[in-house]
Chain A
Amino acid sequence: MKKLLAAFVGSMALATAPLAMSAEATKELKVAYDSDPVTLDIHEQLSGGILQLSHMTFDPLVRWTKDLGFEPRLAESWERVDENTMRFTLRKGVKFHSGNELTTADVQFTFDRLKQSQDFKAIFKPFSGIKVIDDYTFELMTSEPYPLLLNTATYIFPLDSQFYSGETEDGKDKGAILKHGNSFASENLSGTGPFTVADRRQGVRVEFERFEDYWDTESPGNVGKIVLTPIKENATRVSALLSGGVDFIAPVPPNDLDRIKRDRNSELVTMSGTRIILFHMNQERVEAFKNPKVRQAIAYAINQEGIAAKIMKGFATPAAQMSPAGYQGHNENLKPRFDVAKAKQLMKEAGYEDGFTITMMAPNNRYVNDDKIAQAAAAMLARINIKVDLKTLPKAQYWPEYDNRAADMMLIGWHADTEDSANFFEFLTFCPEADSGAGQYNAGNYCNPEIDALVQKANVETDLDKRAAMLQEVEQRLYDDAAFVPLHWQDLAWAAKKGVSIAPVLNVMNFPYLGDLVVE
């Protein structure tokens, strides 16, 4: 009996020994997001889903830290050569999934391809070119001094140039970016990232496996396999987590925050986000909106704190400007203004005491509680005698209406791709100009060339303190002018099973660094 027991214990020890050795990356993680990446070609579309995929299967030159600083990834170091040039040194010995080694040729290939991409070319417009010095050194050049060079470098995920070059069996270019229809790159992938794509069925599931030759051996990440299931329906996603069907979900809908907090087996992580929700007041459609007093009256009539507390259930940060805290343009002095008496006073001064009627449009499935926010705003405006005719639409129908500026007040949410204030202004408050694309989403037709010039000046200012002061002034002037009605920044929420320490790998951009995730 003793012998048997000893043999048993011995065999157990033997059996567990190899396990302990390979425990580095053996954990399986089941993830449910509200969508899955639409393609494997990370240059085909600029969207949250694609950036999440990029951070799992590729690595950027540099990446954002939690406090919006930069940390080196594939670029080991960088230095300014002159006003318009930044020199990067690549990490040595980094392998692609295909086995090829990363060199500057791959960076050049990627840079050229980004310049071709319909979705990314706008971000890379300030760059005039790339100069390869040797296998591990290259320079990025801009036509003018560009303060956001590193911000943009977070979008450079080097592609395997050998893998994506040449022709497929049926004679198509492997490097082609195709918006619709299949391309080689939309179905095959070779990056340097922590995970490879093992299996993918669009809209149903994607399986990732840990890349054995991953360069970052210091990463604490121990997840060997990830199964991503897109679950659009909020209630289903939450019950998948609560029932133990998945280990990690995002986003968590505001209505279920309490339920997850109460659950003993789950952990909730929330963060104040960077996506601003705001209303535009169309000055071309409504004469009264040309009067700054009327715009201010509206700004005073709308209760941001109330919307954030009641409709968003505290799951939003009330805003008085576009730049969230942490952005260079964030102006500490600006606080949400809500004062109905003052609003009425301003309406009276402007000669609109008896009010007027306007139309309003908002999407009903794009932002968190978007239709309810619009209803609340309409009710608030009624108190200063502005009667609102509200229409809410699904996003597929809303955006064409938005492009046509089809209502007097329209709701929009915006997240700056560059994580920088200037991006907000360029798209949302610049004088609309079809040729340059400035003010593309400025449905208020607000136009102040002085402010635009100030932003342009900030865009070539590489002294970041000076630049911050300029952008903060812009926020102040837009606030004084009541150029738009800011509402709030949408908060972010993720939830995971206990033992999955998601907090360290999450960030405000909402691309979790799953390669570094530790699972107990």
Chain B
Amino acid sequence: MLAFLVQRISQALLVMFVISVIAFAIQDGLGDPLQEMVGMSVSEEEREAIREELGLNDPFLVQYFRFAGKAIQGDLGNSYFYSKPALEVIAEHLPATLELVIGASLIIIFLSVPIGVYSAIRPQAWLSKFFMGVSTVGISIPVFLTAIVLIQLFSIGVTVNWFPSDTGWGQWLNELLTTEGGLPSYGRGDDLVHLFGTWESGLFTREGLAHLLLPCISLASIMLPLFIRLIRAEMMEVLQSDYIRFARAKGLSAGRINFLHALKNTMLPVITVGGVQIGIMVAYTILTETVFQWPGLGLMFLEAITRSDIPLIVAYLMVVGLIFVITNTLVDLIYGLVNPTVKLAGKKA
């Protein structure tokens, strides 16, 4: 266990190093940060003076070693736009993203497991076919489109009058398709509860939860169909296996077989895939946060790129790299808990 952690930590350090070099190497391609900092009519001389002050004129290696020296002491530099330490900026934006990811994950877990299991046990039922059909559509719709449709339906609202409203059925259909709107379409709302440090949470107020709803659904919409299909496929395979047949023969109850024996083995590959998907989730939060103006890490990163806020970009990439390493480590540990026969690296057999 200890050896496993040591190995992971050294991996993390290597990842950080590689990321920092790459991020530093591409900074020339990111453009001139000064364009965001000064007005158009500022003379070239003044600009040069600021560049000199910021150390942007130094050779690559000088800049890198200055950065690395500070980074070792936990200082990743100051964001140009926020005028404060990049790590502090990230810490301020992290809670918003975490809450978004937690919300989306909860939706995914609470929907994908029952739906996946159900459609594996009863593959021929019409409800299963319906779920499979919807999930195929769900997989192929890009997240920003889902987001925009959700905003149109539930924030702005739509009035449908396609059907003749003087007939009973027409009126019924119109009313069925008409939505009220009124859900918040942007941001986290005003009613945040301060937890600790930089964490201001929207999880404890009605308003905060209302703001979370649409972004969480959008983010979940990408992963949910994937997990439903994955759980279904794995579960169906497990249900065919000998030990399940044996359990059936022994006369165990269906619930016990399905939810204890079968589901446990189904979850192993799902957890692995889930761990990998967390990385992809980071990419999708960028899209979701942009559409919903969600003040989290994704939006912050995207804007840092348009502003060529180099220190913030580098810091973000390193923090995300760290999050990857941590989640993968956790996934491996959880995997070991679910299935004790799996050996962690370095552990004697």
Name the prevailing secondary structure of the A interface residues.
loop
Q: Which of A182, A233, A242 contacts B291 (CB 8 A)?
A: A233
- Contact residues, B50-102 vs A (CB, 8 A): 50, 53-54, 78, 80-84, 92
Q: Which residues of B contact A56 (CB under 8 A)?
A: none
B186 near A: Cβ within 8 Å?
yes
Q: Who on chain A is nearest to B292 by CB?
A: A236
- B43 touching A122, Cβ below 8 Å: yes
Stretch from B27-35, B127-135, B269-277 forming part of the interface with A: B27-35
CB distance from B92 to the nearest CB of A (A): 8
Contact indicator B35/A47 (Cβ below 8 Å):
no
Nearest-CB distance from B315 to chain A (Å)? Answer: 15
* Among candidates B43, B92, B186, residue contacting A245 with C-beta atoms closer than 8 Å: B186
Q: In the A-B complex, list the 10 residue pairs whose CB atoms are closest, starting with the nearest.
A: A396-B31, A46-B39, A243-B155, A397-B31, A396-B308, A437-B43, A119-B39, A204-B295, A242-B156, A400-B32
Beta-carbon contact of B84 and A235 below 8 Å? no
Q: Find out whether the CB atom of A45 lies under 8 angstroms from the CB atom of B300.
A: no
Inter-chain CA distance A119–B50, complex, in Å, is 12
**Chain B residue contacts of A118, Cβ below 8 A:** 38, 42, 46, 49-50
B44 CB contacts on chain A under 8 angstroms: 403, 434, 437, 440
Chain B contact residues, CB within 8 Å of chain A: 29-33, 35-46, 49-50, 53-54, 78, 80-84, 92, 148, 151-152, 155-157, 181-187, 190, 290-293, 295, 300, 303, 305-308
A243 to B154, CA, bound (A): 9
Contacts of B43 in A (CB 8 A): 122, 437, 440
Interface centre among A179, A181, A395 (most CB of B within 10 A): A179
Contacting A232 at CB < 8 Å: which of B39, B182, B184, B303?
B303
A265-298 interface code vs B (CB 8 A; 1 in, 0 out): 0000000000000000000000000000000000
Supply 12 A–B pairs (Cβ within 8 Å), ascending by A.
A46-B41, A119-B38, A122-B41, A202-B81, A203-B82, A204-B295, A236-B151, A236-B186, A239-B152, A243-B182, A396-B33, A397-B32
**Closest-CB distance, A424 to chain B (whole angstroms):** 12
Q: A233 to B83, Cβ gap below 8 A? A: no
Question: A398: which B residues are within 8 A, CB to CB?
Answer: 31
CA distance A361 to B186 in the complex (A): 35
- Given the contacts A244-B182, A440-B43, A239 and B156 also touching, CB distance less than 8 Å: yes
Contact count band on A: 35 or more
From A181, A205, A227, A394, give the contact of B306 (CB < 8 A): A394
Task: Report yes or no: A245 in contact with B185, Cβ–Cβ below 8 A.
Answer: yes
User: Closest residue of chain B to A187, judged by CB?
Assistant: B83
Q: How far is the CA of A400 from the CA of B184 in the complex (A)?
A: 40
- Evaluate contact between A399 and B32: CB separation under 8 angstroms: yes
A233 to B50, CA, bound (A): 30
> In the complex, what distance in Å separates the CA atom of A45 from the CA atom of B291?
28
A203 touches B156 (CB 8 A): no
B224 CB, nearest partner CB in chain A, Å = 23
With contacts A232-B303, A242-B156 taken as known, whether A45 is within 8 angstroms of B185 at the C-beta atoms is: no
Q: Is the CB of B35 within 8 A of A399?
A: yes
Could you tell me which residues of chain A, from 144 to 167, have a CB within 8 Å of some CB in chain B?
A: none
Residue of B with least CB distance to A121: B46
Interface assignment of A417: CB less than 8 Å from any CB of chain B: yes
Residues of B within 8 A of A122 (CB): 41-43
Whole-angstrom distance between the alpha carbons of A72 and B50 in the complex? 36
Closest to B46 in A: A118
Contacts of A338 in B (CB 8 A): none
Complex Cα distance A365/B83, Å? 24
Assess whether A229 is interfacial by the CB under 8 Å rule: yes
Q: Is the CB of A182 within 8 A of B30?
A: no
Whether A231 sits at the interface, judged by CB under 8 Å, is: yes
A38 to B54, CA, bound (A): 18
Given A46-B39, A243-B155, A399-B31, does the pair A38, B182 have CB atoms closer than 8 Å?
Answer: no
With A38-B81, A239-B152, A394-B31 already in contact, 15 other A-B pairs whose C-beta atoms are closer than 8 Å: A39-B83, A45-B37, A45-B38, A46-B38, A118-B46, A122-B41, A122-B42, A180-B50, A182-B84, A201-B92, A232-B293, A236-B291, A239-B156, A243-B185, A417-B41
CB distance from B151 to the nearest CB of A (A): 5
With contacts A118-B50, A186-B83 taken as known, whether A396 is within 8 angstroms of B36 at the C-beta atoms is yes
